[in-house]
Amino acid sequence: MFSNFYSNQVSGSAGQTSFNYDIKKAASKCMRLWTVSRNNAKVNTAADDSLGALPMDYTSVSTHIGSDYIPNVPIRVSGYVLTSATGGVDNKNSGLVSELYYHTLSAVSDNERPCYPSVGLTALSRDADNKRDSVLVFSYNKSTLDNLSGYSVNNSRALIVDLECDTVVNGSTTTRRIDNWMEHLRNVRIFANQSVISD
């Protein structure tokens, strides 16, 4: 068995804060979904990092396959405070994204190295000055013993994604493009006179 990726893109209008879309790909074992939110205006601009992600600005994230919701309830982030509202410094909000941070680390098994995770909490802080490297990951592995027990998806049982964002961090004129990669397993059977590859 080996992992393969199916990708699709979802584009929104300027200032759009709600995204609900499905990813239709027949696969017997859907394992993960990797989601990157980008500024559409910078994707094909030579002077900008076309692969850079928008700073993390999700207020709610959830997915479901059929009646199974992953995570069980939406992960919500709220409480961003502007300098103009407090008369002080901005609330970088790194503490408020801790649940989302742990969810992402768990999805890629990076939480197994708690001393030195490869992605720091500040990478997810809702700070317009942070590095544009934030990736949202959902895991659909049902087993804690192996990495082979995913969900079956197809055209009638699609992977549904619900994302809510705000315009405080990235501005109300930003046109967002969301790139998605659905990771799924493929099975290869090789015989003396033929080979069979199945999703």
| Domain spans, the chain | 2-198
Assess whether pLDDT exceeds 60 at residue 110.
no
CA proximity to 183, closest of 145, 147, 134, 133? 147
Q: Which option is the CATH number for 2-198: 1.10.10, 2.70.9, 1.10.1060, 2.40.400?
A: 2.70.9
- Phi-psi sector, 52: left (phi>0), alpha (psi -120 to 50), beta: beta
Assess whether pLDDT exceeds 70 at residue 184.
yes
pTM of the model: 0.76
Binned at pLDDT 50, 70 and 90, residue 145 comes out as low
